[in-house]
Copies of this chain bind each other. A is one copy, B any other.
Amino acid sequence: MKKESMSDLLESALNPQSVAVIGASENIHKIGGRPIHYMQKHGFAGRIYPINPGRDEVQGLKSYASLAALPEAPDLALVIVGGDKAVAAVDECAARGVKSAVVIASGFGEAGEEGREVQQAMTARARAAGMRLYGPNTQGLANFGNGAIAGFSTMFVEVPPADGPIGVVSQSGGMSAMAYGLLRGRGLGVRHVHATGNEADVTVSDLAWAVAHDPDVKLLLLYLENIANPELLARTAAYARERDLPIIAVKAGRSESGQKAASSHTGSLANEDRAVDAFFRHHGIWRVRDPHAQALAAEAYLKGWRPEGRRLVVISNSGASCVMGADASEEFGLPLAALSAQTRQGVADRLPGFATATNPIDITAALLSNSGLFGDVLPAVAQDPAADLFFINIPVAGAGYDVEAFAADTAKFEAATGKPVVVAAWQESVAAPFKARGIPTFANETQALGVLAQLASHTALMRQSHAPWPPAQPPSLPEGSGRFLNEAQSLDLLAAHGVPVVAHRLCRSAAEARDAWGVVGGPAVVKACSADVPHKSEHGLVALRVESAEAAGALFDAQWAKLAELGAAREGVIVAAMHKGRHEFMVGARQDPVFGPVVVVGDGGKYVEALQDVAVLLPPFAAADVKAALKTLRIAPLLEGVRGEPPLDVDALAEVVVAVGRLMASAPGRIASIDVNPVMVGTRGEGAMVVDALVERAA
């Protein structure tokens, strides 16, 4: 995989030797004029062919009447013309042997059914001719590494480009321009700014894959509204992790439609947005809310910092900032480093008597009279192995403060230790000297600590690995055509795949029920079994604490009659052992149309959907991953035992989740969803036991 270079991939678009502009304009402020202007201005070394039948020359270049008139088939054609002309131009490109066509025009798939049909047909013809299509309805592509700019964003005028180590790939042209502008505004160089628009052919995943193979790219930013090609995005992420390329993604648009259509708990709990979260987490992609958050964190990533620990040192010249820093460290999960006695003494030796030598370190307004304090204190702290991350907060400074010296000392510290150090300073006069020395500097503590926390968490995500699950035979489902397996069938299927299920008997007569009571032992549960009644308790078809064989027999008769009354298939009555455990969990899995098997685990019982205390996992995962996910639940404090209770058997629960996940993953096209609720979990060593389950067949 490593041998593949970007140029093997979408070379004709990202590194074209020749570009035709269909609808070229002399006016550099028009959409047809800008790309030519940009390419000439930003050093594109290939051949540019303006196509405009009305002119002989465009922007100093020979203009052609048509594609056919060109001396060669260009690698890339940029289709500026709109409507029917755009479709005709794409067809001409395909016929002429163009390798990549970027279609700017809108009014296709995004405009309704008719547009969608035209778009599909156009794309099919392009593909048949072996041509890749970008857009339509896109702002286009821009590679500032070679000046190949097949796009028209005005942002390249607003904020002048500079080549650099960042790639931006976005469905939305607006968001790609915004990310570009914000990054450039922070002084960072940007190489790739690509928008995919309607994604009739090439998707964000395709371009992300290509850009990840540009060895100069050190940070990849994505904006997506849907994940058209999750398999390729996953491969891109794997490749990126291998070469230590962080990916930060924005995924906008939370559709509730999937949730509304869901008939199972799992469908509602492992909803689209949670599955997206799980997908990104699984693949080591960090998700943020918008391009502002992407740009905010970029510089810290480009420093190459990949912190292993989260222990924070806070240094400020304001006592209030130290107080707030302690609050914030808790909030961001960056515990204050417990400095050694030696470090504290070293710091105290350098500070005036009334300053604090614990962490947060308050160097006080004494900084005003002694500019060397920063430079004195930093090395004293640097050698402490308990310190992973450093935060310098300067909420107030100005005339009288030697900020240049503070910044120089900070830069020296960073160069010597390689440890992450960030600064908060809202006054531009204070921030500028730090920024000039390459120290990531933020307007405030929230931003600074937010970025440090992100860096530590994202590093941990990027370092995780997921051993593949061994291939498994697809499960054999019982004969039948109903949507659901009945409970006995569901339990049996789980049991056959290594999931511990409650002792039970499926009975077809009162006599069998009485016998079964004797076998499973009382008190027992008696519940009707019919694939037609997946939610039994709502019909009074579950009897708990049945204390005698006679009662079991009587309940059989009552439930059997009730099933007839409901017109439901009478598949039997289950007599099962009462298994209490200490806490009820739910485990589920479903086949997601985008991500494939999605697994959910959470607090169980009848309020699972109302309380939504769940975690979502994507295969493959191990028991350790499940246990880490359980720690994110709101009920996590109960897992280890509170009020003197012993811990719960989370190992056994984790094994259930893995087994359910592996069953689901082995059953595409066979199983649509599995709901297991409750799983009774006992004290550590006592195991976990599935008491009820519902398996839905794939349609």
Listed in ascending order, the chain A residues whose CB lies under 8 Å from chain B are: 29, 106-107, 110-111, 153-155, 157-158, 171-172, 174-175, 177-178, 181-182, 185, 223, 225, 252-254, 289-292, 317-321, 323-324, 326-327, 330, 353-354, 395-396, 398-400, 426-427, 429, 443-446, 538, 606-607, 609-611, 634-635, 637-638, 642-644
Contacts and interface: CB of A to CB of B under 8 A. Distances in A.
A426 B182 CA distance: 8
Contacts of A317: 174
A336 to B, nearest CB: 13
Contact of A175 (B111, B318, B609): B318
B174 A318 contact: yes
B444 A292 contact: yes
B174 A395 contact: yes
A400 B29 contact: yes
Contacts of A185: 426
B174 A642 contact: no
A324 B445 CA distance: 25
- Oligomeric state, in copies: 2
B330 A175 contact: no
Contacts of A253: 323-324, 326-327
Contacts of A318: 172, 174-175
A252 B323 contact: yes
A190 to B, nearest CB: 15
A375 B297 CA distance: 37
A395 B354 contact: no
A638 B327 CA distance: 33
Given A177-B395, A289-B324, A611-B634, 7 more contacts: A171-B320, A174-B396, A175-B395, A178-B396, A178-B426, A181-B426, A611-B637
A395 B182 CA distance: 10
Contacts of A644: 538
Contacts of A291: 395
A254 to B, nearest CB: 5
Contact of A354 (B107, B399, B607, B610): B107
Contacts of A610: 637-638, 642-643
Contacts of A182: 426
A291 to B, nearest CB: 8
Contact of A320 (B174, B444, B609): B174
Nearest to A316: B174
Nearest to A445: B290
A399 B320 contact: no
Given A110-B354, A175-B318, A426-B182, A324 B399 contact: no
25 contacts: A110-B319, A110-B354, A111-B354, A154-B396, A157-B399, A172-B318, A175-B395, A177-B395, A177-B396, A178-B426, A181-B396, A181-B426, A185-B426, A225-B320, A225-B323, A252-B327, A290-B324, A291-B395, A292-B426, A292-B444, A538-B643, A607-B637, A607-B638, A609-B643, A610-B638
A395 B295 CA distance: 14
A610 B640 CA distance: 11
Contacts of A223: 320
A398 B172 contact: no
A67 to B, nearest CB: 27
B330 A254 contact: yes
A70 to B, nearest CB: 30
A154 to B, nearest CB: 5
A223 B634 CA distance: 32
A395 B538 CA distance: 51
A605 to B, nearest CB: 11
A154 B401 CA distance: 10
Contact of A634 (B326, B327, B353, B634): B634
Contacts of A252: 320, 323-324, 327
Nearest to A29: B400
Nearest to A444: B292
Nearest to A447: B292
B178 A395 contact: yes
Closest 9 CB pairs of A and B: A172-B320, A174-B318, A158-B398, A610-B637, A610-B642, A253-B323, A252-B323, A252-B324, A292-B444
Contacts of A326: 253
Contacts of A153: 396
A229 B432 CA distance: 41
A183 to B, nearest CB: 12
A324 B324 CA distance: 31
B158 A429 contact: yes
A642 B323 contact: no
Nearest to A538: B644
B157 A609 contact: no
Contacts of A175: 318, 320, 395
A367 to B, nearest CB: 11
Contact of A446 (B290, B319, B398): B290
A254 B328 CA distance: 10
A427 B398 CA distance: 27
A174 B323 CA distance: 12
Looking at A185, A317, A610, the one whose CB has the most chain B CB atoms below 10 A away is: A610
A174 to B, nearest CB: 4
B398 A157 contact: yes
A396 B444 CA distance: 25
A433 B609 CA distance: 48
B172 A399 contact: no
B323 A290 contact: no
Contacts of A635: 611
A385 to B, nearest CB: 26
Contacts of A254: 327, 330
A518 B94 CA distance: 94
A127 to B, nearest CB: 25
A356 B291 CA distance: 23
Contacts of A158: 398-399, 427, 429
A290 B325 CA distance: 11
A422 to B, nearest CB: 16
Contacts of A637: 607, 610-611
